[in-house]
Amino acid sequence: MKVLVAVKRVVDYNVKVRVKADGMGVETANVKMSMNPFDEIAVEEAVRLKEAGKATEIVVVSVGPTQAQETLRTALAMGADRAILVQTDVETQSLGVAKALKALAEKEQPGLVILGKQAIDDDANQTGQMLAALLGWAQGTFASKVVPAEGTIAVTREIDGGLETVELKLPAVVTTDLRLNEPRYASLPNIMKAKKKPLETVDAASLGVDLTPRLKTLKVAEPPKRAGGVKVGSVQELVAKLKTEARVI
């Protein structure tokens, strides 16, 4: 079974994000960029499936600027076999990316597509679901456990009430949650090998996909600063404030 994994280049999770002066986005100049952590989990799961003999080839895909090649190399160093960059300089949005992934899925014919459940930049949490809908494939989102069988895959999902396990008919789309696995560090020999693995660059037009943004960003702002708390003198005062000010009881 071939596995397609989608990864996104985002601001590194250790960076303290700052809003740009024009309020139209966040500062990315001279900021460390890395693979979206949920996508790292997706790559790791694919590599584990291959190591377990359940997957035969791992193709890693990114939609984004030329620099996203670095992100793809990281995935190759973790154990993916080859990479495809859908090169674009426009702001990537969920629907456009889902369409590009659909085109690639039709071309590559994978048995399974694995994506992070969301990217830590826009936290949209849509691409996987949109991709499954566009392809008409089954989807298992927020996976904390993935067990492939013959022609099916059991996905344990983290939901509000606890865990739910669904069985999907392959081909299918799976999106990863934090507890699915702990991604490995790319070993030095694998980093050295990564540069010899194939990395193909295509443009969206050649896939017949229009990546033009459909959503317009109006304003990006810092979250409001947390105000200091208040000390209450008695239980009565606390209950009164919870009722009248916080309105939680």
- The footprint of another protein (CB under 8 A) covers 14, 34, 69-70, 73-74, 77, 185-189, 191-192, 194-195
Measured CA to CA, the distance from residue 209 to residue 61 in angstroms comes to 15
C-beta closer to another protein: residue 62 or 127: 62
Measured CA to CA, the distance from residue 103 to residue 238 in angstroms comes to 58
Q: How far is the CB of 197 from another protein (least distance, A)?
A: 12
Q: How far is the CB of 68 from another protein (least distance, A)?
A: 12
Tokens of 68: 């996203």
Q: How far is the CB of 74 from another protein (least distance, A)?
A: 6
* Full DSSP string of the chain: -EEEEE--EEE-TTS---B-TTSSSB--TT--EEE-HHHHHHHHHHHHHHHTTS-SEEEEEEEE-TTHHHHHHHHHHHT-SEEEEEE--SPP-HHHHHHHHHHHHHHH--SEEEEES--TTT----HHHHHHHHHT-EEEEEEEEEEE-SSEEEEEEEETTEEEEEEEESSEEEEE-GGG--PPPPPHHHHHHHTTS-EEEEEGGGGT-----SS------PPPPPPP----SSHHHHHHHHHHTS---
C-beta closer to another protein: residue 148 or 183: 183
Q: How far is the CB of 77 from another protein (least distance, A)?
A: 6
Name residue 102's amino acid.
K
Q: How far is the CB of 184 from another protein (least distance, A)?
A: 9
Tokens of 134: 């566009």
C-beta closer to another protein: residue 69 or 125: 69
C-beta closer to another protein: residue 77 or 138: 77
C-beta closer to another protein: residue 29 or 248: 29
Q: How far is the CB of 14 from another protein (least distance, A)?
A: 8
C-beta closer to another protein: residue 40 or 177: 40
User: Alpha-carbon dihedral of residues 80, 109, 39, 100, nearest 10 degrees?
Assistant: 120
Q: How far is the CB of 9 from another protein (least distance, A)?
A: 13
C-beta closer to another protein: residue 34 or 93: 34
